[in-house]
Amino acid sequence: MSRSGYLLAILASSVLGTACTDDQEPANQPPAGSTSGDESTTFDHDNNTISPWDLLERLQAEGPPTFTSHVHSCAKVRYATLGTVLKQLGVDMTNTTALSAADLYNNGFNALGGANYANRIRENISISTSGASREFDIFAAASDEIINGFTNQTAAITGRCGAGVQLFNADNTCRPDGLTCLMGTPATTSHIDFCNITVQMASDVTVGKRLAVASVLAAAYTCE
């Protein structure tokens, strides 16, 4: 048989094999409507794969994953640094009241990834679930102290922010100078809008201000 004959035979057998496979009814089909769905009742997944040329272009522009993982990674705030930030924002770090910001911080050394020098274990530089949860709890507990510090212009706040800097205006809208001091980076329109929406959408203004301060701090110090 010639080469072209072999090719025709292979193609014919492939077509016949596919046709036979398509004609067979799969076994163990579930009853109609029991577990099956369609695009109106389930999420329609986009299973399109990326083109190799698009992938090559992205790798040339961004670099390989081994590089971008280091460039875009986010290390957690060191334990001592977090304590310094809280102190500068007017939090009493000697407070031993249960569930106060200082209590959560001082008793959260392990959860926050502190170093265990006795066992030669360095401080964890990546944020963990337990560390993020404890950090969120600390910011939430510290919010009242921080708000009062801005309102009363305590020495800690004036030392960090300068005199006259406030978090909120008389109409309870958020101030950019106060948010800048709170985060340690210039506040943008997005930060101000987020803060205002948080205050406005809360059950009352006091709760809204607490949530706004805690949320802004959490976002600023967990790379969100």
Question: In the beta sheet, which residues pair with residue 75?
Answer: 126
- Say how many domains are in the chain: 1
Backbone phi and psi for residue 126, each to the nearest 5 degrees, phi listed first: -110, 145
* Statement: residue 140 has pLDDT above 50: yes
Buried b (16+ CB within 10 A) or exposed e, 3-23: eeeeeeeeeeeeeeeeeeeee
Instruction: Say if residues 210 and 143 touch (Cβ distance below 8 Å).
Output: yes
Instruction: Say if residues 178 and 165 touch (Cβ distance below 8 Å).
Output: yes
With respect to residue 130, please indicate whether it lies within any of the assigned structural domains. yes
Instruction: Say if residues 179 and 202 touch (Cβ distance below 8 Å).
Output: no
Continuous H helices in 24-78: 52-62, 65-71
Instruction: Say if residues 113 and 121 touch (Cβ distance below 8 Å).
Output: no
With respect to residue 161, please indicate whether it lies within any of the assigned structural domains. yes
With respect to residue 175, please indicate whether it lies within any of the assigned structural domains. yes
Q: What is the pTM of this model?
A: 0.66
With respect to residue 144, please indicate whether it lies within any of the assigned structural domains. yes
Q: What is the pLDDT of residues 69-123, one digit of tens each?
A: 666 566 788 999 999 999 999 999 999 999 999 999 999 999 888 888 888 888 8
* Statement: residue 7 has pLDDT above 50: no
Gap between the Cα atoms of 146 and 101, Å rounded: 11
With respect to residue 67, please indicate whether it lies within any of the assigned structural domains. no
Q: Average pLDDT over the chain, rounded to whole? A: 82
Q: What is the pLDDT of residues 177-209, one digit of tens each?
A: 999 999 988 999 999 999 999 999 999 999 999
With respect to residue 196, please indicate whether it lies within any of the assigned structural domains. yes
Range of the domain at 207: 79-221
For 4-50, strand residue ranges (E) read none
With respect to residue 179, please indicate whether it lies within any of the assigned structural domains. yes
With respect to residue 33, please indicate whether it lies within any of the assigned structural domains. no
